[in-house]
Structure 1
Amino acid sequence: MLSEKTIQVIKSTVPVLEIHGTAITKRFYQMMFTAHPELLNIFNHANQHQGRQQTALANAVYAAAVNIEKLESILPVVKQIAHKHRSLGVKPEHYPIVGENLLAAIKDVLGDAATDEIIQAWAEAYGVIADAFIGVEADMYAQAEQQTGGWSGDRAFRVARKVQESDVITSFYLVPEDGGAVASFEPGQYISVKLEIPEEANTHIRQYSLSDSPDKPYYRISVKREDVYQDKPAGKVSNYLHNEIKQGDTLMLSVPAGTFTLDQQDARPVVLISGGVGLTPMVSMLETLAHTNPDRKVTFIHAAQNGNVHALKQQVTDLASRSPQVNVKWCYERPTDADRELGQFDKEGYIDLPWLQQIIATTDASFYFCGPVKFMSTVNRLLKELGVSDSDIHYEFFGPAGSLEQAEPAEPAGVR
């Protein structure tokens, strides 16, 4: 337990962290990777270059400081991060390294303002927070290994099938090389894929949502090829998977993880909203509902640029044709001539409030959504304007967690 003095010192740093938090975390990663370059094998380099990891850590540190008197209130965030850590292979021995470099970064950025008293208080607080993470993650590692079909660390899976779903999305059907069972998962969870890419100095790990239901003898991931876009370079891992990985090749996977999961005990209607490749966890949820709870009303809304990049459409359409409780709607931002001729979409442009009001029969439902950050920010705002309670709103960031409020777009957000 932290002393009252330590708590007060930590709370006094909240205004400073609000201003300088990202500068501190940016310096932290620079210092840590210089001293421990082996940790580059764990972290997503793209998120580092884009600043997303630094912002996510700054938000987590800030939340810990604000809630230092009641750290149990941030337990959901701890569990979410712990799932990521377990999936990536973060171990107890990494925490002292993080603590040492985080304290050094605070001192480096704040200079004389980071007094010995402040550094000591944060050292104590970090010890308590690290112990909480280590304890939660230890339970997760044990559960991952001990469950039916579970394993420890990475396990070799063979690409049984590779299917092009759209111009930019390809599915990989993965089965264990050892012929054993696969661990089950909750619809909405993800796996980590670890790749050794030729001529790349470090291992690359990416997390991909499972895009099929848990009752299959395989895992399926549906990966979008990230091409050069504005100031973002092409995705190394997604392009390697699309261009180099073939049927019969081997991928190393972690046990499924993640806190963005479908509540299967809730009998109320469910609304699934996705943009772009954000439909992958939604299809897993829809498949699961169709098999395990066919009487539950489901509204499935998906936004894409057009039919050329719309993946898994036939699977969703087939599910809806067999289940009268499933209502499917497509929104195309820029439909092609073929889309128009075939009438393959329900709305042109963006998801907006009047359209949602026509589709959604009740706000007494569970709402799940996933997609690009600006898309999710728009959906989050629209659901609140509809009167949906915060407790019924659930969403997933692809990558480090962020704030939808901070990402609020000035104009409607499309998908690509």
Structure 2
Amino acid sequence: MLELQDFQAAKKRVDEVIEETKLIHSEAFSLESGNDVYIKPENLQKTGAFKLRGAYNKIVKLDDQAKQKGLIASSAGNHAQGVAYAAKKLGVQSTIVMPSHTPLIKIEATKSHGANVVLHGEVYDDAAKHAVFLQEEYGYTYVHPFDDEDVIEGQGTISLEILEELPDVDVILVPIGGGGLISGIACAAKNINPNIKIIGVEPEGAASAAAAIAEDQVVLLEEVNTIADGTAVRQIGASTFEYIKQYVDEVVTVSDYDLMDAFLMLVEKHKLVAEGSGILSLAGLKKIEERNKKVVSVISGGNIDVMTISSMINKGLIARGRIFTFSIQLPDKPGQLQLVSQILAKLSANVIGVDHNQFKNFARFSEVELRVTVETNGNAHIDAILQEFIDLGYKIERIN
């Protein structure tokens, strides 16, 4: 296992390329979670994610022979950019294999750093297998995204920065994909203060660490399904699993709806944008039992395309009860739409969409369906709207 001096040496190396990502205190997430919450914004890193730390630390330690062979890596996006950036900085050729459905922003960013990009497979694991094939075919030097001690060492430098700023931190929440980030953070933090609690956060649709812990061995998930594409890993690393067993205190899972909720709050309250994988630790704040503790949530990355941002905002608004759609049955006669509008106006609900359906198969021929989408102030406001229509004798159904 790595020791504190290993992380300290790595910190000197990665300081050559990384941005300083100072902790941000969050009143909003503190109030919601009942803890004193700080954000470690690695989404503001040069390549938009923490991965640059591990990639650079790994590549700069390679001997000249290994570098001359050229590098190959597999990644869902962030490791790709880290390797590509570090390789270009050090004058080394790189080839990156990425899943076919990787967001375009990550593909283009990787190419912009001079890497040769190969698209292969549906998920990270498919890309990883193809990268190994290419390595054997052409003799490249492989840079693993997480199951490598030099990479783990680089990621652990985050802990040194957290503890320098906040020496009395009680809990650190860390996203888990393949396990490299949490392995480095947990090992470095525990070497400084064994009492710090390390909690990993996984998406429910790709909980390979939780599965491994339950079976006490690395488990290959049958499938992964999550909006957190950067952590859509079917199997955590063998080395990282050993670090997790030794240094991680707890692993919690969050749903895609939890992620959308946290995304919206981060954008609204902090004007920060992060990808689905990046906000796992913020979504995880609702899942932990700790209260009145100093908690750091690591935002691991912010590489997200505009279309996904739009979708996340819309779904986040729904998740937080800020947008509400309902259907209501009305008599098929003039003036009914105006009555509904007046009721909503009285309740301060802003109408943003209306669909009038005369052709639905109703119990009575003289009825029509009105589907309305309104902007609200939250779930309590929604409950008040529903109750008002029920009290007035309307048949109302919540759609979302």
After TM superposition, the score normalised by the length of structure 2 is 0.31
Q: Which has the higher contact order (CA 8 A, sep 6+)?
A: 2
Greater CA radius of gyration, 1 or 2? Answer: 2
TM-score, with structure 1 as normaliser: 0.30
